[in-house]
Amino acid sequence: MNRTPHRALCLAAAALGLLNVAAQPEPQRPDAAKNASKSSKSKTPQTLAGAHILIAFHGAKRVKQSVVRSKAEALRLAQQVAALAAQSPARFAALARQYSDGPSAPRGGDLGNWRQGMMVPAFDAAVLKLVVGQVSGPVETMFGYHVIQRRSLPPTLAGAHILVSYRGAARAKPTITRSKAAALSRAQHVAALARARPDRFAALAQQYSDGPTAPRGGDLGQWTRGRMVPAFDQAVLRLKVGQVSGAVGTIFGYHVIIRRALRP
């Protein structure tokens, strides 16, 4: 799993061991966690969503060694790409795969969603000026020039889970020695118990879960679709509120999930 600083977007989800690292943005500010904490105390930050095309230049922050263009050349290219994207916003993903120097290029520049304040200020400010579907002109940050498209926010989900880990799973504790097969068997047993008594889900999580949320009954709070690994989100979307899943496999182990109602 990639653990570079720009991937550490959602501290809470990362702690839960469910963060979908493939959907995280590049231009996160170095003091993102500190800034988010301050922002949350002063006002409620918006949740934003979008995609970008990064045109880097020699000397920019985190630039690949293969990038040799000058800053002036990067600006000209970004202006050309912005014009193409503005003419045909539907082709934004294809243009990102063709032109972007960022790690999100293979997925069409998609950044998923993030909380305002987690990106460098110029990036957030540019997104806030756009309406959904609109494309920006070149936006300069320490990483290069960004062409940004604002996206609509995915649905919000809520739930709790019981994680049954196994030896070799991502972020498994050193004390976990059970095999993958044993973990699946245990998860299926726990799922049967939880389905029989959904009201005891929190108690079962405290008893059986290997995840850091076990002490609070497996509660994950609320998150927007795309912030968790795909298999987890997909399982939640298949459930009705109050319904319990079977054993759901991810790189972290097997999850037994209960969908919860959204808070007002």
| Domains in the chain: boundaries | 5-150, 156-259
Q: What is the pLDDT of residue 171?
A: 94
Please say if the pLDDT value at position 41 is more than 60: no
Confidence grade of residue 27 (pLDDT, cut at 50, 70, 90):
low
Report how far residue 195's alpha carbon sits from residue 81's, in angstroms, rounded to the nearest whole number: 52
Least confident of 44-53, 83-92, 121-130, 199-208: 44-53
Please say if the pLDDT value at position 24 is more than 70: no
The residue-averaged pLDDT of 50-70 equals 96
Q: Do the domains spanning 5-150 and 156-259 agree at the CATH topology level? A: yes
Least confident of 39-53, 118-132, 237-251: 39-53
The CATH code of domain 156-259 reads 3.10.50.40
Q: What is the pLDDT of residue 139?
A: 98
Residues of the chain with pLDDT > 70: what percent? 84
Cβ-contact 23, 30 below 8 angstroms: no
Confidence grade of residue 155 (pLDDT, cut at 50, 70, 90):
confident
Report how far residue 227's alpha carbon sits from residue 238's, in angstroms, rounded to the nearest whole number: 17
Q: What is the pLDDT of residue 152?
A: 93
Q: What is the pLDDT of residue 38?
A: 45
Average pLDDT of the chain is 87
* Better-predicted residue by pLDDT, 177 or 153: 177
Report how far residue 150's alpha carbon sits from residue 123's, in angstroms, rounded to the nearest whole number: 11
Report how far residue 227's alpha carbon sits from residue 28's, in angstroms, rounded to the nearest whole number: 16
Report how far residue 75's alpha carbon sits from residue 144's, in angstroms, rounded to the nearest whole number: 9
Report how far residue 63's alpha carbon sits from residue 57's, in angstroms, rounded to the nearest whole number: 7
Least confident of 34-38, 72-76, 130-134, 159-163: 34-38
Confidence grade of residue 34 (pLDDT, cut at 50, 70, 90):
very low
Nearest to 127 by CA among 101, 95, 144, 152: 152
Q: Which residues pair with 146 in a beta bridge?
A: 54, 139
Q: What is the pLDDT of residue 80?
A: 98
Report how far residue 104's alpha carbon sits from residue 74's, in angstroms, rounded to the nearest whole number: 18
Determine how many CB atoms are found less than 10 A away from the CB of residue 252. 23
Cβ-contact 194, 256 below 8 angstroms: yes
Q: What is the pLDDT of residue 43?
A: 65
Q: Enumerate residues 6+ apart whose C-beta is below 8 A from 224.
A: 47, 113, 153, 154, 155, 156, 157
Q: Say what the pTM is.
A: 0.60
Span 180-236, pLDDT tens digits: 999 999 999 999 999 999 999 999 999 999 999 999 999 999 988 878 999 999 999
Please say if the pLDDT value at position 9 is more than 70: no
Report how far residue 99's alpha carbon sits from residue 91's, in angstroms, rounded to the nearest whole number: 12
Could you tell me where the beta strands, DSSP code E, fall in 47-105?
47-55
User: Half-sphere exposure of residue 76, counting CA atoms within 13 Å on the CB side?
Assistant: 5
Please say if the pLDDT value at position 132 is more than 50: yes
71 token code pair:
């800053």
Q: What is the pLDDT of residue 26?
A: 59
Please say if the pLDDT value at position 19 is more than 70: no
The CATH code of domain 5-150 reads 3.10.50.40
